Amino acid sequence: MKNFTIAKRQIDSISVLDISGELDAHTASQLENSLKALIDEKQFKIIVNCSRLEYIASAGLGVFMAYIEDVRGLGGDIKLTNMNDRVYNVFDLLGFPTLYDIHDDEQEAIGGF
Amino acid sequence: MATKNNIHTLSVDSSTKHLAEVRDFVASHAKNVGLSEKDISEIRLAVDEAFTNIIKHAYKNTASKPVTIELGFNASQLWISIMDEGEGFKPDEYKAPDILKRIKNKQRGGMGVFLIQKLMDQVQYNRKGQMNEIRMVKNL
What domains appear along chain A, each with residue ranges and CATH number? 4-111 (3.30.750.24)
Identify from B12, B18, B21, B52 which residue to disrupt to test chain A contact, counting A C-beta atoms within 10 A and taking the largest count: B52
Name the percent of chain A lying above pLDDT 90.
97
pLDDT of residue A53: 98
Confidence check: pLDDT of B123 > 80: yes
**pLDDT confidence of A1, banded at 50, 70, 90?**
very low
The pLDDT of residue B4: 59
* Nearest neighbour of B48 by CB, restricted to A57, A63, A93: A57
Question: Containing domain of residue B77, as a range?
Answer: 2-139
Distance (Å) of CA B99 to CA A80, A98, A102, B95, B106: 17, 11, 16, 12, 10
**B102-139: burial string, b at 16+ Cβ within 10 Å, e else:** bbeeeebbbbbbbbbeebbeebeeeeeeeebbbbbbbe
Residue of B nearest to A26 (CA): B16
Rounded percentage of chain B residues whose pLDDT exceeds 90: 79
DSSP B81-109: EEEESSPPP-GGG-----HHHHHHTT---
Tell me the pLDDT tens digit for each residue of A18-65: 999 999 999 999 999 999 999 999 999 999 999 999 999 999 999 999
Identify whether the C-beta of residue B112 lies closer than 8 Å to the C-beta of residue B91.
no
Is residue A8's pLDDT more than 70?
yes
Q: Is the pLDDT of residue B126 over 90?
A: yes
Average pLDDT over residues B119-125: 97
Lowest mean pLDDT among A53-62, B34-43, B49-58, B92-101: B92-101
Task: Tell me the nearest-neighbour CA distance from B114 into chain A, angstroms.
Answer: 8
In this prediction, residue B1 carries a pLDDT of 58
Tabulate helix, strand, coil % of chain B (nearest 5). 40, 30, 30
Mean pLDDT, residues B75-90 taken together: 95
Say whether residue B39 is in contact with chain A using an 8 A CB cutoff.
no
Q: In B, which residues are within 8 Å of A22 by CB distance?
A: 20
Number of structural domains, chain B? 1
Rounded to an integer, the average pLDDT of B13-24 is 97
Contact A90, B115 (CB under 8 A): yes
Spatial CA neighbour of B108 closest among A2, A64, A48, A107: A64
Report the C-alpha dihedral over residues A73, B114, A102, A12, rounded to 10 degrees: 50
DSSP secondary structure letters along B19-55? HHHHHHHHHHHHHHHT--HHHHHHHHHHHHHHHHHII
Q: Is A90 on the interface with B (CB under 8 A)?
A: yes
B125 touches chain A (CB under 8 A): no
Residue A105 pLDDT exceeds 60: yes
Q: Tell me the percentage of chain B whose pLDDT exceeds 70.
A: 96
**Test mutation, B13, B38, B47, B48, chain A, max A CBs within 10 A:** B48
CATH number at residue B20: 3.30.565.10
Q: What ipTM is given for this predicted complex?
A: 0.93
In the prediction, which pLDDT does B92 show? 85
pLDDT band at residue B21, thresholds of 50, 70 and 90?
very high
Query: What pLDDT shows up at residue B106?
Result: 82
Of the candidates B49, B52, B104, the beta carbon closest to that of A69 is on B104
